[in-house]
Amino acid sequence: MTIYLDLGNVSDEVGTPDFFHAFFSTVSGNLEPAGWGTRFPVLLRELYKGELDKARAGQARMELTQIQTEMRRLAPDGVIWDVEDRSKRPPWGNDISSDITDLSNYFVTSTGRDLIEVIGECLDELQSGSNRTLRVVSM
């Protein structure tokens, strides 16, 4: 099963459900001391759950920019594969590319694209395009 970000007739492949969850787990576990969705509610409570309405795209974009800025300061060993079970580790362990210098560029989609950039492009398109909803779908 693969997760996609879907904007009507355009879908961006993300990766496995575990990978998608790991990104949001890493954000929450490192940047939200008061718990899931407390600092970044639009991304972690709305998009993560499966849908983001066009009216919320601007706020989501601001949250994503803040996440990227803050994750640039965190080393790759700060990855959290599952915030509910912190003993879980990525399938590749600590064997990561030397191109990964911090948590802002740790998450690379199954098509080789930076996940934060993919989400940002989807949010930008949602804001400016005719689509009304960004959906997280699995196929």
pLDDT of 8 > 90? The answer is: no
Domain boundaries, the chain: 3-92+110-138
pLDDT of 10 > 90? The answer is: no
* Strands ordered across the beta sheet of 10-15: 10-15, 3-7, 133-138, 51-53
pLDDT in tens, 122-133: 999 999 988 799
- CA 25 to chain CA centroid, Å, is 9
pLDDT value at residue 56: 97
Residues paired with residue 13 on neighbouring β-strands, in sequence order: 4
pLDDT value at residue 3: 98
DSSP state of 39: S
pLDDT of 22 > 90? The answer is: yes
pLDDT of 37 > 90? The answer is: yes
Task: Give percent helix, percent strand, percent coil of the chain, each to the nearest 5.
Answer: 45, 15, 40
